[in-house]
Amino acid sequence: NAGVTQTPKFRVLKTGQSMTLLCAQDMNHEYMYWYRQDPGMGLRLIHYSVGEGTTAKGEVPDGYNVSRLKKQNFLLGLESAAPSQTSVYFCASSYSSGTVRNEQFFGPGTRLTVL
């Protein structure tokens, strides 16, 4: 079991470039999430998905898009990167029912720098 994996681990972009971050989980979780972590800010929810083909906005969705075409994958896209999107991005997943709902498993993170 690999758990939650993220690709790539590091990336440097120029302002205006686009990119896609990939999150994959092999735990058959229904729910998946994208967070960003900035110094002194903790983690903030960008978008999430409660199942294949569904997505919803979180606390800080502007400038990002997501897609969940397959249950095991959750993609985060930046169409036109800005320096304010320099951050560490974490993907997480969780089960959808029972008392373990909301217990999230996190990936190792992607460090993104936008110049």
Closest CA to 46 of 114, 110, 100: 110
Instruction: Report how far residue 55's alpha carbon sits from residue 51's, in angstroms, rounded to the nearest whole number.
Output: 8
Whether residue 21 contacts residue 71, with contact meaning beta carbons closer than 8 Å, is answered with no
**Among 23, 31, 64, 76, which residue interacts with another protein (rule: CB under 8 A)?**
31
**Among 35, 66, 75, 78, which residue interacts with another protein (rule: CB under 8 A)?**
35
The reply to whether 101 sits near another protein by the rule CB under 8 A is: yes
**Among 58, 61, 63, 77, which residue interacts with another protein (rule: CB under 8 A)?**
58
Phi and psi (nearest 5°) for 87? -175, 175
Whether residue 81 contacts residue 16, with contact meaning beta carbons closer than 8 Å, is answered with yes
- Residue closer to another protein (CB basis): 59 or 79: 59
Positions touching another protein (CB under 8 A) are: 4, 31, 33, 35, 40-45, 48, 50, 56, 58-59, 90, 92, 94, 96-97, 99, 101-109
